[in-house]
Structure 1
């Protein structure tokens, strides 16, 4: 196999010159080919918009290992009993039937950048004129000493939705009054910044609903602060007094490691034992992006902020959690927004269609208790070598309960809308 990396990229000026080259449809026989790897909020959205808006002039193939996709976003509501597992699980049938996308359920093992091909686990090679990678995150198992993929069957992470989510739910439902849940929160950067704290809220909601108000949730955090901290702290005190305790590094002194055989988490301050231990380790870009040499020393992938084009290869785009997206958080809303910019740029590359100035946006909703929803978000634009925030908003402490309920109901509408936008 030829070498799997080209490390040079001529900056924004080079990218601009590249997009002025003759469109692929004038240079190649047949329809230009786009391969998309990853069927989540970034990849499936990109595949759908490229196929839909090109009206069949681009051949789109979506490679996704799983025939059905369980969303990490809203999986906390499943844990809390507000959603069924089926309601957060989606298929790809409409992408194939309505938009002519070839959906391939396989593992993408490598990218041969010299021949412009994606190599699948069965040896198949998929040629591309443009490649979109949206592989999400991989967990860095040894970022927490004693943790491993095997340990996750005892101390679930559930930060990749699916069987781990169901395992965590089963363990949560088995917690008795007076027992303790211990969560090890992840360091920055990671998928869904408010996610661990919404999850702790859902743990508390389930326990409180069963009358288990003597149960405890202890969050051991390597970070000195976290997203929506004031809102969560207010909500925990209001709805779950004495049930949720958050310890930052100035209190616990550092997380030394975990022992799955004893359900213990050791810190410099103390050893915490949980009837349920939820470990969320550090994260990096999904493997396919790293083996393609598209990640830098951070483990994530630098991109052109005006297009989501890889900074390492002008024919590849990296979306969502795997990308270094400046001020944009790693969220489903962000990935969906980035996918539309990439899809527009790819259509411009391949068909000569007009490319408009990019616009990015994000909103992250969190549920603290039934009807008590909060949100944070913003608008973004290409800045000096990065995606920069142009405006932001966040729910305020002390808001009227009617506003909080409206925020929660808004999130339900968003979920219905974005999953339709992603999966057709």
Structure 2
């Protein structure tokens, strides 16, 4: 099992730059205009690495928000071990240190023939290459009875970190001891961070310490989930009798909700909750769909070797909005994809052959602040899409002592510091 500290992640970034032929690309003095829509782990990394690979390429990052509140670690706000300020980061270093032009605004349309992005205020930005990394759109209609208004008032999703995270936290604080918290994860595919099962763990941590008579009911649309054995084992040892998980095949899939009555109806019947966290079905971000980059399933198909769009020339879609074979929708995956996209864009602008693609993913989760688990993997493009390299990673061992679980929890903090530094500089 391989673990990554901040030092290891930064070294990996340097190694990636070397493998992408950074010195020769820089010497080529590549020109061109690249526009990046979205400044999360995917978009910000792509913008930074394009400038690292080719300082003379003009890179414009279009982003609505001044700061980025990360979905990774947002569960720790719910658990009370982090504050929202701890996971809030500004993008200023991208402009100050690397020369990325940051445009505060919202992209509302893309003319892929004219190679032009239109913003909400009417401004237009031309490009030679376009990176679309808008994250996800939540399908409020995908849960009968639920709505955006319900999410903002009584049944939060907290799947975009920020105000919703704080709303869910306040609800946990105000509920009476002995209440039931209902968490309803969606069917696949969905964006992993904040991670439903780590969320369950962090809510359980808060309840154990403040409202120990309370229970958590997980009503899942799926029959299985990532790191399931590790999570269930951790729940049994750390939160005995507190958490009940019901699979979709056993009636766990939610059929409808009643925000006024604070009830949910699943296959097995109706349940009332003191706090109800509805995590809805998802699609690629709205701008990707409006630009015609998505398939009928709502996700954007890409070339697995470059993440070039299957729908438009000189457009690349990465991160959560893409459907990338075996790769999960995680922060590390988006960061890894972005470096491959950056190398492909710089190579295409100078008429060179891009290097062979290799992708990585690491997903850490906390069961308690001192109990960490993880899964890692390496991926390469294949005939059916991005495929995991056999025996390239794995999950934490089922049998591990407290010292090893504590070490993984410490690695979690190192991973976060490393990916923030690698994304925003």
TM-score (norm 2): 0.90
State the alpha-carbon separation in 2 of the partners of residues 147 and 363 from structure 1.
33
Alignment correspondent of 2:7: none
Change (3 A) 1:253 1:408: closer
1:194–1:366: 8 Å Cα contact kept in structure 2? no
How far 1:403 moved relative to its partner? Answer: 1.0
How far 1:182 moved relative to its partner? Answer: 0.7
* Segment of structure 1 superposing worse, 34-43 or 344-353: 344-353
Q: Secondary structure at the match of 1:42?
A: helix
Alignment correspondent of 1:106: 105
Query: Could you report, residue by residue, the CA deviation over 1:80-130 in whole angstroms, capped at 9, with x for unpaired residues?
Result: 122121110111111111111111111100100110000100111100000
2:61–2:103: 8 Å Cα contact kept in structure 1? yes
How do 1:253-264 and structure 2 match up within 5 A? 254-264=253-263
Alignment correspondent of 1:147: 146
* Segment of structure 1 superposing worse, 261-270 or 356-365: 261-270
Q: Secondary structure at the match of 2:141?
A: helix
How far 1:346 moved relative to its partner? Answer: 0.5
Alignment correspondent of 2:45: 45
2:289–2:298: 8 Å Cα contact kept in structure 1? yes
Alignment correspondent of 1:252: 251
How far 1:286 moved relative to its partner? Answer: 0.3
How do 1:408-423 and structure 2 match up within 5 A? 408-423=409-424
Alignment correspondent of 1:184: 184
State the alpha-carbon separation in 1 of the partners of residues 50 and 248 from structure 2.
45
2:222–2:249: 8 Å Cα contact kept in structure 1? no
Change (3 A) 1:100 1:193: closer
Alignment correspondent of 2:66: 67
State the alpha-carbon separation in 1 of the partners of residues 68 and 243 from structure 2.
31
* Segment of structure 1 superposing worse, 30-39 or 94-103: 30-39
1:42–1:338: 8 Å Cα contact kept in structure 2? yes
1:193–1:226: 8 Å Cα contact kept in structure 2? no
2:373–2:396: 8 Å Cα contact kept in structure 1? yes
State the alpha-carbon separation in 1 of the partners of residues 254 and 195 from structure 2.
20
Alignment correspondent of 2:398: 397
Q: Is 1:206 aligned to 2:175, yes or no? A: no
Change (3 A) 1:121 1:194: closer
Alignment correspondent of 1:407: 408
Q: Secondary structure at the match of 1:60?
A: strand
Change (3 A) 1:66 1:194: closer
Alignment correspondent of 1:269: 268
Q: What is the aligned-residue RMSD (CA, Å)? A: 1.7
Query: Could you report, residue by residue, the CA deviation over 1:274-313 in whole angstroms, capped at 9, with x for unpaired residues?
Result: 1110000000000111111111111101101111111112
How far 1:354 moved relative to its partner? Answer: 6.1
State the alpha-carbon separation in 1 of the partners of residues 121 and 242 from structure 2.
50
1:31–1:59: 8 Å Cα contact kept in structure 2? yes
How do 1:278-317 and structure 2 match up within 5 A? 278-317=277-316
1:375–1:394: 8 Å Cα contact kept in structure 2? yes
State the alpha-carbon separation in 2 of the partners of residues 296 and 268 from structure 1.
30
State the alpha-carbon separation in 2 of the partners of residues 110 and 165 from structure 1.
29
Aligned residue pairs total 396
Query: Could you report, residue by residue, the CA deviation over 1:27-67 in whole angstroms, capped at 9, with x for unpaired residues?
Result: xxx94110000000000000011112212x11000001111
1:193–1:329: 8 Å Cα contact kept in structure 2? no
State the alpha-carbon separation in 2 of the partners of residues 333 and 279 from structure 1.
25
How far 1:355 moved relative to its partner? Answer: 2.6
Alignment correspondent of 2:19: none
How far 1:194 moved relative to its partner? Answer: 7.9
Alignment correspondent of 2:20: none
Query: Could you report, residue by residue, the CA deviation over 1:225-252 in whole angstroms, capped at 9, with x for unpaired residues?
Result: 1111111111111011111100112332
Q: Secondary structure at the match of 1:72?
A: coil
State the alpha-carbon separation in 2 of the partners of residues 418 and 267 from structure 1.
38
How far 1:351 moved relative to its partner? Answer: 2.9
State the alpha-carbon separation in 2 of the partners of residues 230 and 35 from structure 1.
42
2:220–2:252: 8 Å Cα contact kept in structure 1? no
How far 1:254 moved relative to its partner? Answer: 4.0
How far 1:370 moved relative to its partner? Answer: 2.1
Alignment correspondent of 1:85: 84
State the alpha-carbon separation in 2 of the partners of residues 385 and 123 from structure 1.
40
TM-score (norm 1): 0.91
1:75–1:88: 8 Å Cα contact kept in structure 2? yes
State the alpha-carbon separation in 2 of the partners of residues 253 and 38 from structure 1.
34
